[in-house]
């Protein structure tokens, strides 16, 4: 049986005056602990290391104990909030324990953390690090995962969500929380989806933090420690259980394309097989796992977000005829300055709209992009609203195909 474990490390007060007290590390960590244990089925794998308990010795010993306390099927989250440091020559990062002196040997280098993770057999390990220079732990390569939640959970994973790159990050106003932890805890607390992946969590936190603070969280896998492109899957109010392939999932409508959008995607040539399909039952439709032995009532592919988002490039080239929106209208982008290269970023985000809670959008220079005018003189904005994340991505694909920004050939 898969169990969910959480190791919490947080330091506000340091022995060495070289490291000034932090305002929110401990309080942020306690909030995260409460949310994960009460609402997502996690349990503390050992007593939390708070302030004086988070010495160099106890942190390293606790990390080493994880290899004994976890099983090959378990989920494990390791959270660290405190000071971080960067070696001026090697540019390698460190965690600063509570009792650190002025010697670099008193710190905990990233290499020690990685070596510890290498010895842990847990299926999914997710590090959440809210400290300066935390992004130095990450690899520079990027992994993409193109399966649904059941598939995500099958393969091992080793992911890190860091509050910043190789930069200093904000601790926030006293009592309010760091910008990173505020967005993280708000996402977990306000989430109403029964299931979501670690990448969906990271995307929301990175965008939310980047929009409110002068720091940019990063999310990537750790190389060389057994990462197999899986992802930890969060389940609201329950532990992760293996799902039956043939069982009807009544909540699939929140994650699978509506029938109308699915048919449109199919008609433009995106015909790759999906693990889900629509089946007709009288005048209504049901969503089931595809039964390869009996497809009599099978209508079309019913893609999930993970299955279709791979067709959307992260960056879309823009030219001088691209329009960008502002509060009162649209301006032509015009020729970029010599030596610069402009592109639109594709993002997916939640909204406060109940009926259409997700949106897909292209932005250039921070503004919404409109690639062209219609024959009626209107602008084709590449912003699409959907009843779920999958539909918003599907509608974005349709818009990009219409604008000749992507081409679907042979189902790809």
Judge whether 409 lies within some domain. Answer: no
Residue 250: per-residue pLDDT: 39
How many residues would you count in the chain? 412
Q: Are residues 145 and 32 in the same domain?
A: yes
In a shared domain, residues 131 and 28: yes
167: domain CATH number is: 3.40.50.1460
The reported pLDDT for the residue numbered 182 is 86
Given 185, 200, 235, the domain boundary residue is 235
Which of 235, 260, 291 is where one domain is finished?
A: 235
Question: Do 256 and 289 reside in the same domain of the chain?
Answer: yes
**Same domain as 173, residue 32:** yes
Report the predicted TM-score, pTM, of the whole model to 2 decimal places: 0.55
Domain count, the chain: 3
Domain final residue pick, 235, 265, 291: 235
CA angle 309, 289, 386 (to 5 degrees): 40
User: What six digits make up the tokens of 161?
Assistant: 């969500």
Residues of the chain with pLDDT under 70: 87-91, 133-148, 165-172, 211-212, 238-253, 289-296, 336-341, 410-412
Assess whether 228 and 339 both reside in one domain.
Answer: no
Within-domain flag for 205: yes
- Asked if the structure places residue 160 within a domain, the reply is yes
Residue 248: predicted pLDDT: 34
Q: Are residues 299 and 317 in the same domain?
A: no
| Whether residues 114 and 214 fall in one domain | yes
**Within a domain: 134:** yes
Look at residue 247 in the predicted model and tell me its pLDDT. Answer: 35
- Find, among 148, 14, 137, the residue nearest to 78 by Cα: 137
Say if residue 69 is in the same domain as residue 93.
Answer: yes
240 lies in a domain? no
Domain assignment of residue 126, given as a range: 4-235
Shared-domain flag, residues 315 and 350: yes
At 241 the pLDDT is 40
Does some domain include residue 215? yes
Same domain, 289 and 317: no
Q: Is residue 31 part of a domain?
A: yes
The answer to whether residues 224 and 115 belong to one domain is yes
Q: Which residue shows structure tokens 């942020």?
A: 28
Task: Tell me, yes or no, whether 241 lies in a domain.
Answer: no
On whether both 202 and 114 belong to a single domain, the answer is yes
């Amino acid at each position: 049986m898969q169990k969910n474990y959480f190791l919490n490390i947080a330091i506000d007060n340091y022995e060495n005056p070289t490291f000034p007290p932090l305002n929110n590390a401990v309080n942020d960590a306690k909030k995260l602990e409460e949310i994960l244990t009460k609402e997502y089925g996690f349990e503390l794998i050992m007593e939390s290391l708070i302030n004086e308990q988070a010495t160099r010795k106890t942190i390293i010993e606790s990390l080493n104990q994880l290899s004994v306390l976890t099983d090959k099927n378990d989920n494990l989250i390791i959270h660290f909030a405190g000071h971080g440091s960067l070696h001026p020559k090697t540019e390698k990062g460190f965690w600063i324990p509570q009792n650190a002196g002025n010697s670099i040997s008193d710190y905990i280098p990233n290499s020690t953390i990685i070596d510890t993770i290498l010895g842990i057999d847990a299926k999914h390990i997710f590090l959440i690090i809210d400290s300066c220079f935390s992004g130095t732990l990450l690899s520079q390569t990027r992994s993409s995962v193109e399966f649904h939640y059941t598939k995500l959970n099958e393969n091992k994973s080793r992911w890190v969500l860091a509050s910043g790159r190789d930069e200093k990050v904000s601790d926030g106003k006293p009592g309010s929380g760091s910008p990173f932890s505020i967005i993280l805890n708000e996402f977990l607390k306000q989430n109403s989806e029964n299931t979501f992946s670690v990448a969906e969590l990271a995307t929301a936190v990175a965008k939310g933090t980047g929009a409110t603070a002068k720091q940019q969280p990063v999310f990537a896998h750790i190389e060389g420690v057994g990462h197999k492109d899986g992802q930890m899957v969060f389940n609201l109010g329950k532990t992760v259980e293996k799902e039956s392939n043939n069982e009807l999932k009544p909540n699939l409508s929140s994650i699978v394309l509506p029938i109308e959008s699915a048919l449109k995607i199919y008609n433009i040539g995106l015909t790759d097989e999906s693990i889900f399909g629509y089946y007709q039952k009288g005048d209504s439709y049901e969503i089931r796992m595809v039964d390869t032995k009996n497809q009599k009532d099978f209508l079309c592919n019913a893609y999930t977000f993970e299955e279709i988002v791979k067709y959307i490039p992260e960056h879309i080239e823009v030219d001088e005829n691209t329009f960008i929106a502002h509060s009162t209208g649209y301006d032509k982008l015009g020729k970029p300055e010599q030596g610069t290269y402009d592109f639109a970023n594709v993002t997916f985000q939640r909204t406060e709209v109940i009926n259409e809670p997700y949106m897909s959008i292209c932005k250039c220079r921070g503004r919404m992009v409109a690639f062209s005018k219609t024959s009626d003189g209107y602008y084709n904005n590449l912003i699409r609203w959907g009843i779920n994340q999958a539909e918003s991505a599907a509608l974005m694909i349709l818009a990009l195909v219409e604008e000749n920004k992507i081409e679907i050939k042979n189902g790809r």
